[in-house]
Chains A and B, each alone.
Chain A
Amino acid sequence: DTAVSQTPKYLVTQMGNDKSIKCEQNLGHDTMYWYKQDSKKFLKIMFSYNNKELIINETVPNRFSPKSPDKAHLNLHINSLELGDSAVYFCASSRSGTGTWGGSPLHFGNGTRLTVT
């Protein structure tokens, strides 16, 4: 069984469109994340939710809106897509409590490659 699953795997769309990426985890974790990986493989956190509550919101344009209907799901909606949004987006989850500082690893999905033309 896949622990963290994202859909779709590939997303090609035109500038100005609105799109969503879905993420689900079956690990029973309380904390979920969205990371963005650029073309140089650099990974940067975008959002983090703990038990459906937003706890991290890095400097991300407000065109990006995460939604967590329950602690097993964290979706990412992007409005008015721009060329610079092209990247690979990774969903991840971890156990809360002392969390990653306590050594709890992040479990990543396989990523969604978004291409904006």
Chain B
Amino acid sequence: GNSVTQMEGPVTLSEEAFLTINCTYTATGYPSLFWYVQYPGEGLQLLLKATKADDKGSNKGFEATYRKETTSFHLEKGSVQVSDSAVYFCALSSQGAQKLVFGQGTRLTINP
């Protein structure tokens, strides 16, 4: 079946550090890939997405590239801020599935 695996958290960084959160997936066909962010006490919000191989999704300084050869969709940001502290979820949707399958989430804490 389809699945998403994210790097274990929690991740703690200092402000302005470089961020990578790894995400790999298993899916049939050509899934669409997403990163969602959940701030404390809130629901999930779409951060970025990519719908085909080699697409790069980007938003708010975050980027992720759809790598079919490595079945990965790693999230990166060059310089994190305290306000980026949240839980980040990688997710996929496969053809005809009409649902998202989520990774286990990675809690990110940025210290000033």
Contact = CB atoms under 8 A, between A and B. Distances in A.
Nearest to A113: B41
A43 B51 contact: no
Instruction: Indicate the member of A4, A41, A48, A105 with the most B CB atoms within 10 Å.
Output: A105
A114 B71 CA distance: 36
Interface string A2-21: 00100000000000000000
Contacts, number: 70
A33 B43 CA distance: 13
A108 B100 CA distance: 12
Interface in A56-83: 56
A100 B98 contact: yes
A84 interface: no
A106 B41 CA distance: 18
10 contacts: A42-B102, A43-B102, A45-B99, A45-B100, A90-B44, A100-B99, A101-B93, A101-B94, A103-B51, A108-B44
